Amino acid sequence: MDYSATDLTEAKRQLDSILHKLKETVKTLEAKDSPERYKSQLTLANRRIQALTIAVELIVAQLHPDT
């Protein structure tokens, strides 16, 4: 599918926002007294961060194919 630069830019902005919130969530969970208690939540958040990072990189590559 072809997406406009505006659509891709907005999608990237939204993904960046979600990534920021997820990273803050990871910091919060890791700072708790018993972070091992939140292992599954941390694993899920880190996997989502990885997936969203890939999506952002693909959007950037689509927006700037020459770089």
What is the Cα–Cα distance from 67 to 65, expressed in whole angstroms?
6
Q: Which amino acid, residue 9?
A: T
What is the Cα–Cα distance from 55 to 67, expressed in whole angstroms?
17
Return the residue matching tokens 């999506």: 55
* Whole-angstrom Cα Rg for the chain: 15
- Counted residue by residue, the chain has a size of 67
- Per-residue confidence (pLDDT) for residue 66, from 0 to 100: 87
Residue 67 has pLDDT above 80, yes or no: no
Model-level pTM? 0.90
- Per-residue confidence (pLDDT) for residue 27, from 0 to 100: 97
- Per-residue confidence (pLDDT) for residue 34, from 0 to 100: 94
pLDDT digits (tens, 9 = 90+) for 4-59: 999 999 999 999 999 999 999 999 999 999 999 999 999 999 999 999 999 999 99
